[in-house]
Structure 1
Amino acid sequence: MTDLRNVIVFAAGGVRQAMELRWVREVATLGFVTLVPTAPPGLVGVCNLHGTILPVLDAGLLTVGQAGAPARQGDGALILQLDGVATALRVDQVDEVVSAHSDGEVVVDGRGRRLPLVDPDQLLRRLHAPGPGPGPGPAGGPPP
Structure 2
Amino acid sequence: MAVFLPLFFFPLIFHHLPISFSSSSVHELLKAKGLPAGLLPKEVKSYSLDENGHLQVFLDGPCLTKFENRVYFESVVRANLSYGELMGVVGLSQEELFIWLPVRDIMVSDPSSGLILFDIGVVHKQLSLSLFEVPPSCKPQGFMSYRERKDHGFGAQR
What is the TM-score when the length of structure 1 is the normalising length?
Answer: 0.28
Greater length-normalized contact order (CA 8 Å, ≥ 6 residues apart) = 1
**Larger proportion of strand:** 1
Higher helix share: 2
Task: Give the number of the structure whose alpha-carbon radius of gyration is greater.
Answer: 2
Alignment TM-score, normalising by the size of structure 2: 0.27
